[in-house]
Amino acid sequence: KNQVEQSPQSLIILEGKNCTLQCNYTVSPFSNLRWYKQDTGRGPVSLTIMTFSENTKSNGRYTATLDADTKQSSLHITASQLSDSASYICVVSAKGNKLVFGAGTILRVKS
Amino acid sequence: DAGITQSPRHKVTETGTPVTLRCHQTENHRYMYWYRQDPGHGLRLIHYSYGVKDTDKGEVSDGYSVSRSKTEDFLLTLESATSSQTSVYFCAIYGGRNTEAFFGQGTRLTVV
């Protein structure tokens, strides 16, 4: 069964600190991996998209890495801000262009 | 912003009544999806469409049906709503492969 597992479930950090979120997947065949940010009460918004040939991709203070051999990805957030408080969702594109979602990591940034 | 609109945004309905949610896009994307989001479960796929009149079931399709009679509209119908279908429903559109996927703002459905 195609699965996407994220850790930790939730995380609290102080403003200005860095953090790393993890994503492990068993989706095969694999097309691409995406990270989304979802603010409370809103739809997910894309942060990065990586194909199997890409190892890293950045979007401002967000940097995603991908190891297609071990089927692991991480999202690193640098110098966190209060506005980074949200749910971060790892999404893998499977055969047939189906998008398989992880349950998300809830990040809370405290001042 | 991508042209994707869900309606209604909020709905309260009684158990046993039929309910239809609408997803409308202006991007001419081939793929459209319906997901539900519940606490602790993340987004789970209900049904998806890969073209007009071409649809398939997702992992939580029981109690739901869909229709796509034209590219821009994807309808989700709860034939006889139950309390377990109280959830937030998201529609997504996708051009395929490594293109961007966009989500609507969600529909909060409460079945009482």
pLDDT tens digits in sequence order for chain B, 112 residues long: 679 999 999 999 999 999 999 999 999 999 999 999 998 777 889 999 999 999 999 989 999 999 999 999 999 999 999 999 999 999 999 888 778 889 999 999 999 9
- Asked if B31 reaches chain A (Cβ–Cβ under 8 Å), the answer is yes
Alpha-carbon gap: B70 to the closest alpha carbon of chain A (Å) = 19
A84 CB contacts (<8 Å, ≥6 apart)?
A61, A77, A107, A109
Measured from the Cβ of residue B7, the count of other Cβ atoms closer than 10 Å reads: 14
Rounded to a whole number, what is the distance in Å from the CA of A18 to chain B's nearest CA? 24
The full length of chain B comes to: 112
- Cβ A101–B44 below 8 Å, yes or no? yes
- Non-local CB neighbours of B39 within 8 Å, separated by 6+ positions: none
- pLDDT < 70 stretches in chain A: 1-2
Whole-angstrom distance, CA of residue B73 vs CA of residue B84: 25
Q: Would you state the structure tokens that stand for residue A84, as one six-digit string?
A: 């980074």
SS3 (DSSP) at B27: coil
- pLDDT recorded at residue A1: 64
Question: Pick from A95, A103, A96: which is nearest to A36 by CA?
Answer: A103
